[in-house]
Structure 1
């Protein structure tokens, strides 16, 4: 049954997404904020397909921890593609940090550029951080939330990847709070997995980390809290906790969406 539902969902998802990508090209002529409302509608239709075909829904906890005014950094755990399709339903007009090559993808990249996402050239090394901060300053001036995946890529349930320094740079340079976002999506929607499982994904916003900590201190605080909360949600859903290696892994370039 799971395989059949997964097949039906994938067919429906890719067919509907193709129809929307081409059929909604006209919205690129709209003002940016109006186009974002259409994106939110599209994301809600994907949620409808998840509920009706897969039997997959989600629950949000800790919404009171989201700042009501002003910009902030949302540091999100990233276990699957599922959460990337929910950010516009969970947050008000987020700007997601993503690798520059995604803007080159025909049609999809046009929408991302119009929505004013923050692109990063990860091959430029030091310049990548500078360009990320520059784009984030513009988003901060608009009062929008800035989304970053601090581990830099999708991380399977139970696996550990080190946290990258980009999130701490944003925190220090912009002087705004970090809101950690824990989840357990990987239990139901695996990384690069065909099978999707019925159930209830939990997303939890943790209390903000207020400005004022050193770079090392905020990195340690974020990782400690976000890993513990995500492990708790994963274990609640019957999954394994993360096993952290005894020998530290090297940090890499600034985090970005895969």
Structure 2
């Protein structure tokens, strides 16, 4: 497990050093991963001038600045990615959506097996807020990650929202967030499941390169697909 790397991307709208409640939940999760022998890195997206768009380097599409190419190697080298963020109006933050779009920019790239570049990596989601939306945001994030090639283990999300309606946030005094057994159980299970699946994939060379290599499809190989199958 000591060879595994995990990257958390905090998609809070608050720049450092302002307190991030999502950051508080990330720190709880990091402790579990690091005790399992995983090295972790946290990127607070809003602290970096990441341009919006769906290309690997938006400077080639007219933007004067784009920090994404500098961050991409950290993400690409990690076997585990956890996208973490707050809820606004019942949905993920604008920073979260932007990061997903920038990840999508690499979805046409391939790994050393010829598979899409995120094959063999695992993904998870952490969500914080003081109003409803944890499951909605997590389902959106996890769907997006698996769609571009990440593998999602069981129970790959955790979150905290407190009582429904405006109220205290995760790190606020008396919120009950850090003491929530439900949240703490879920983030612990999530962390271990991410490690288990990443370890399994790492030990077995990732996802087998059979029936999922785009260059072979483009060359005419169909992996058992029939255009006009016989119906029996």
What TM-score bracket applies, with the shorter chain setting the length? 0.3 to 0.5
TM-score, reference length from structure 2: 0.35
TM-score, reference length from structure 1: 0.32
Q: Tell me: higher relative CO, structure 1 or 2? Use CA pairs within 8 A at least 6 residues apart.
A: 1
